[in-house]
């Protein structure tokens, strides 16, 4: 699971994955804590900071699609390929706010992986196991031989 973290194409301040808890060819689960020091809290919203929905979607995509995509590519043993995973679509329903300091858990289940496209059903839960948001996110796996 550390191998997946090492291969994620993100770094701070745009890395929204702290830990991969479980992964197999059909699903992945990971965690992230939204530090109160993250810059976007300064203006979203004044005097009542809340994590923007686009950041929640990005967290779900990084764990649920990119993380699972890296795992699947590693299973294919294509070491000569450098893969990039780009989000192609998302449909997310937001149910509860996520406040600064909250640790969330993302669960993702593969719907399909074919023709270099990975589509997943993704859910995010807060530290009390309340469903925060859910949706379907898809990404295209771009293979680069350079």
Q: Which residues are catalytic?
A: 44
Give the chain's radius of gyration (CA, Å).
Answer: 15
Beta bridge partners of 82: 144
Across the chain, how many H-helices and E-strands are there? 3, 6
Tokens of 45: 């919203």
Q: How far apart are CA 89 and CA 138, in angstroms?
A: 5
Residues 6 or more apart whose Cβ sits within 8 Å of residue 52: 40, 44
């Amino acid at each position: 699971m550390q191998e997946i973290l090492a291969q994620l194409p993100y770094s701070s301040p745009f890395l929204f994955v702290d830990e991969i808890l479980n992964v197999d060819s059909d699903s992945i689960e990971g965690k992230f804590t939204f530090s109160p020091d993250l810059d976007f809290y300064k203006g979203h919203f004044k005097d009542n900071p809340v994590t923007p929905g686009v950041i929640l979607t990005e967290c779900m995509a990084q764990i649920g699609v990119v993380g699972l995509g890296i795992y699947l590519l590693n299973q294919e043993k294509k070491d000569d390929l450098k893969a990039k995973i780009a989000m192609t679509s998302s449909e997310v329903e937001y149910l509860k706010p996520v406040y600064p300091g909250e640790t969330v858990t993302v669960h993702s289940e593969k719907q399909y992986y074919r023709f270099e496209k990975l589509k997943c059903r993704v859910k995010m839960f807060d530290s009390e196991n309340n469903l925060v948001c859910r949706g379907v996110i898809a990404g295209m796996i771009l293979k680069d031989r350079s």
